[in-house]
Amino acid sequence: MSLMRLTNGQILPDCPMVIGFGGWGVLGASLPQDGEQAASLGRVWGTFPGDSDAEFWIVVTRQPINGRFYMWPDTSWEYIGASDFFTAQLYLNGAVFGLPQTVTLTSGVG
């Protein structure tokens, strides 16, 4: 089951009113299970197979400052730099899920 955001007014002037839309994330079944860095963050934070039909969306709330960090919509990521951390908030089906989490990035470990 997918949730929809509803509004009772126009979001932008001169635009048709939006009565609902989904698509706030990537389905759990589509999240990468592995990659160059690790499994996608959604795959690590989700509970599978139960979350396979849920929409995952992760918002990074604190970027690492010791390197370059990229997170793609499928919650896979890449980090190049010295050890650091970032914080991120998980949304499931368009709703906040839990509290922001801290992810530690350790360079030079393989």
pLDDT digits (tens, 9 = 90+) for 10-51: 455 554 444 444 567 899 999 998 866 667 999 999 999 999
Domain range list for the chain: 26-105
pLDDT at residue 4 above 70?
Answer: no
What gap in Å lies between CA 107 and CA 105, rounded to an integer? 6
Q: Which one has a higher pLDDT value, 4 or 33?
A: 33
Q: What is the mean pLDDT of residues 68-96?
A: 92
Q: At which residue do the structure tokens 């698509």 appear? A: 23
Higher pLDDT, 39 or 2: 39
